[in-house]
Amino acid sequence: MSITPPEQKVWFNEPVEKTEVIWVIIALAWALIMFAMMPLWHLKGTQNMSNEAYRIQPDVYQARVDAFVEKFKVGEEGHAKTPVVRPPAGSDVYMLARLWEWYPVLELEKGKSYRLHLSSLDWQHGFSVQPANINLQVHPGIDEVVTITPTDSGDFGIICNEYCGIGHHTMLGKIRVVAGK
Amino acid sequence: MVAKPVFRTCGFTGLKIHDEAEKLIKINAVTAIVVLAVGGLFGLLVALTRWPTVHLLPADLFYLALTAHGIDILIVWCIFFEVALMYFASSILLQTRIATPKMGWVSYALMVLGAAITNWKVLEGNSSVMMTSYVPMQADPLFYVGLILFAVGALIACFIFLGTLVVAKAEKTYEGSIPLVTFGALVACIIAIYTIASGAIILIPTFLWSIGLISHIDPLMYKVVWWGMGHSSQQINVAAHIAVWYAIAAILFGAKPLSEKVSRCAYLTYIFFLQIASAHHLLVEPGLSSAYKIFNTSYGMYLAVLGSMIHGLTVPGCIEAAQRRKGFNNGMFEWLRKAPWGNPVFSGMFLSLILFGFLGGISGVTMGVEQINIMIHNTIYVPGHFHATVAAGTTLAFMAITYFLVPVLFRRELVLPGLAKLQPYLFGLGMGVFSLFMMGAGTLGVSRRHWDMAFSDAPHAFSHAPAAFLMMGIVGVAAVIAVIGGALFVLVIVGSVLFGKPVVHAPAAAAPAPSPVASYGNAEHVAVPGTFALALLFLTMFVLYYFVNWKYLASTWIMS
């Protein structure tokens, strides 16, 4: 029994029954298929994690975001009068996380690519674009660059999904995707 | 000097039981169940707050309750019970005295003290940092001190377990290799030592940072090392509850493993590969390469998943073989239909096996794919997954074996046997539905650790799909059912320990004599077609669900 010592003193010398051998082979094959899927998706798939990130001081990041907002601001939105920014397609765009705000509101064009920068000024935050359901972790001190191409138009909420203190659930930002001309 | 160890002989099993070991097992198990009750209550408060139409607690208390729930259940309950299991699997199964019982009490005292300090700080309200306590968010220094003391206590218990193995070997209380269940406990112990080491490496500097002696803890490094503790601690649970499955199969059916070699090799994959799963929590983190993520999230090349899939065949397989030997040979599934479904030891164990595999296992591997994690990270899918593993899997297995331990160690009959019969179904099915619909809500983007899915105080407007609210309502109802199941467990066990009739004779449920279910590898082996069919069903669902998620991923925004 499983609660008594095995019959054979050296358990490794036991022969193995056929059902188990078949199952081990099937399971191993499935394991290898699953393993292969991840590098394969890097080659063939179109949703992959970026490997581009830089160390950055929070104040440096904030200065870049401020310059970006000043350059491309087209309006204000929401209770907090968050600036709305409409950067040109293909450019570097910035999203800043801090307690408890996503800054600024981005207006992007459907089907166009942008180099999206993400960083936090204080604690960790979670960049969760809904309902597109893209979820990325945002760290203080790291400038993460993801190339994104929105494929649907409309208003998207940015939920903070990394717990960041008592105001966490009020931390909601916005990305607007407009159809191209 | 050292007193001569006192043994009694168990009326059920004929096992020799060392009285010092018995006392330690009892106190750790009882403490675990008390913590389960407390942590479960916090869980109920959390669930009632996330149920949109109830929305019970204010935000600050919600985050407080969630922190306490996570720490008490994921760490304190599981580890206390596992300490009891380690002592059982060493001292009692090897028929030996427990090594250094006095240190066992030191270990116990440290764990109680540590858990109490951390709970006290959380309840004070200034340490609502979640179980993960990600820096730079800071808790009260004593929050970390409590966790460190708890870990030191658990580490002592691990060494007592190892010491007991040494004692048994030296005093020749068994021949050949240790039993499979003890082997499983040894795997759990080795993973526990690794886990505690990771915890020490990160929590000690974090404590020093909280009192101002260290100026900066890098958030990314913190996560890499912290999850070396956080994820591995759940792998202790896996190793331990699989040992419990094998133990129950042996106790109830006299089942022998189909093959000791296969089951033990499956356990060995855990030692080699489970620990690197720290990466599961880092898949959408900036600053880590995809190569690192792919290798580590897949446990090498899914070799630990292979181990779990093997146990998924061999555990029900050994039960099927034992049942067929007893004559339950009609069709594919007579062995399962005629199993003792009214005995909570069995029903709890088998539900745990099914729910852990089908819900927890499949979801865990799928969400652990580097790219698929983009759709799942930090959504409520994540707690959906780990309630299927830790609550419906580990906790239910531990509940099942407790029904066996009460008559054996406390020598009390169960009170309220009718409720005991019902309990695994209420808890297991409640937890199953709860997990499933959390996963559903997570795929619709609902966030975990979030007080207000309606975003009423946010600067912008956003609303989730109506289906998400519906699913979170179902989650709330299922949570209440599961909590009733959990409360019944506490009621029956505490009631039995305090008021149960003393056991005078071995009841009918006593362990059958070990019947040879397999003469390894030869023609005497009983075929297990029912189990193999279940395994193929599992694999089919796994493959379908896995590729459905890839398809779903392909429909979202393009990113690289």
pLDDT tens-place values along chain A, 181 residues long: 788 888 888 888 888 888 999 999 999 999 999 999 999 999 999 999 999 999 999 999 999 999 999 999 999 999 999 999 999 999 999 999 999 999 999 999 999 999 999 999 999 999 999 999 999 999 999 999 999 999 999 999 999 999 999 999 999 999 999 997 6
Q: What is the pLDDT of residues A28-47, one digit of tens each?
A: 999 999 999 999 999 999 99
A5 closest CB neighbour out of B174, B254, B539:
B174
Nearest by CB to residue A51, choosing from B261, B264, B289, is B289
Residues 43-72 of A with CB under 8 A from B: 45-51, 53
Please give the C-alpha separations between residue B382 and each of A156, B302, B366, B388, in angstroms, as whole numbers.
22, 20, 11, 10
Specify the pLDDT at position A181.
67
For residue A8, the model assigns a pLDDT of 80
Radius of gyration of chain A (CA): 24
8 Å CB contact of B459 and A80: yes
Does residue B499 have a pLDDT over 90? yes
Q: Which residue of B has its CA nearest to A34?
A: B302
Contact B293 A49 (CB under 8 A): yes
From B377, which residue of chain A is nearest by alpha-carbon distance? A135
Domain ranges of chain A: 11-44, 52-178
Distance of CA B388 to the CA centre of its chain: 10
Residues of B with CB below 8 A from A150's CB? Answer: 557
A113, A150 Cβ separation under 8 angstroms:
no
> Going edge to edge, which strands form the sheet with A125-130?
A73-77, A82-85, A105-109, A172-178, A154-160, A125-130, A134-138
Domain A52-178 has CATH 3.30.565.10: no
Question: pLDDT averaged over chain B?
Answer: 93
Report the percentage of chain B scoring pLDDT > 70.
96
Count Cβ atoms below 10 Å from residue B81 Cβ, excluding itself: 28
- C-alpha–C-alpha distance, residues B362 and B540, integer Å: 11
ipTM: 0.96
Could you tell me the sign of the dihedral formed by the alpha carbons of B78, B268, B221, A102, in that order?
negative
Interface size, chain A vs chain B, as Cβ–Cβ contacts under 8 Å: 328
pLDDT at residue number A6:
87
Closest residue by Cα to residue A140 from B230, B228, B137, B206: B137
Q: Do the Cβ atoms of A14 and B259 come within 8 Å?
A: yes
Picking from A149, A161, A171, the nearest residue to B448 by CB comes out as A161
> pLDDT tens across B448-464, in order?
999 999 999 999 999 99
Cα distances (angstroms) measured from residue A42 to each of A37, A176, B61, B115, B519? 9, 28, 43, 44, 48
Interface of B with A in 259-288 (CB under 8 A): 259-264, 283-287
Q: What is the CA radius of gyration of chain B?
A: 23
Q: Which of A3, A125, A146 to mutate: most B Cβ within 10 Å?
A: A3
Report how far residue B43's alpha carbon sits from residue B545's, in angstroms, rounded to the nearest whole number.
29
Confidence band of B4 (pLDDT split at 50, 70, 90): confident
Q: Which residue has the tokens 């393993």?
A: A35
